[in-house]
Amino acid sequence: MSKKGLDYIIEYKAFEQGTYEIDYQLDKNFFELFPESEFKDGDVSVKVIMQVSIAGLSFDFDISGSVKTECDRCLEIFDQGIEGFYNLTVKFSDTQTDSGDDDIIFLPTEETEIDLKHHIYEYVVLSVPPRRVHPEDEDGNLTCNPEMVKALEEFQPTEQEEETEPQTDPRWDKLKGLL
Ligand SMILES: [Zn+2]
């Protein structure tokens, strides 16, 4: 099953027990649903395996693709590759609401549908590595914009300069030599 556009609502009551695959292709339109998002654009495929049983629902989310983000090194926008695998279990209960576990949610028994978009968004964000830099080329060099890197290095003191130990007093060194 391939869902198009903004259709992230699954009317699970309409499904018989079994396993179903739902494929999403996320782009700019998806990220626009989350105005607070740090990421505004991307190209991400999400393969969802939904298992429907008497006990409840189980969703596997297989995420791969890229999001547009700023490079930590040269500040240019680039496509950061992402990959991740997540599971969400849905149980039905009219008394419990909080499982204390992000991977397990409760829905009231009269509920008939679940909106996956917030879950998908959360998993995409979790798949983005904390350090984002341009990938390396075949020679192992970062593919950053060299002019930007140069300009930034000139503008900011390098880490090395900041960390340099204060010079020791040469007179003290001389004294140590005498001892
Ligand atoms: Zn870069």
Residue 4 domain flag: no
- The torsion angles phi and psi of 178, rounded to 5 degrees, stand at -70, -35
pLDDT of residue 165: 56
Query: Count of CB atoms within 10 A of residue 123's CB?
Result: 21
- How much distance in Å is there from the Cα of 164 to the middle of ligand 1? 26
- How much distance in Å is there from the Cα of 75 to the middle of ligand 1? 6
Number of H helices, E strands in the chain: 5, 7
In terms of residue numbers, what domain contains 29?
A: 9-178
pLDDT of residue 174: 62
- How much distance in Å is there from the Cα of 132 to the middle of ligand 1? 8
- How much distance in Å is there from the Cα of 130 to the middle of ligand 1? 14
pLDDT of residue 153: 86
Residue 127 domain flag: yes
> What's the whole-model pTM score?
0.80
The count of domains in the chain is 1
pLDDT of residue 7: 85
Residue 67 domain flag: yes
pLDDT of residue 81: 96
With beta carbons less than 8 A apart as the criterion, state whether 99 and 106 touch: yes
pLDDT of residue 97: 82
- How much distance in Å is there from the Cα of 143 to the middle of ligand 1? 6
Residue 1 domain flag: no
- In tens, the pLDDT along 48-79 reads 999 999 889 999 999 999 999 999 999 999 99
User: Which parts of the chain sit beneath pLDDT 70?
Assistant: 1-6, 157-179
Residue 61 domain flag: yes
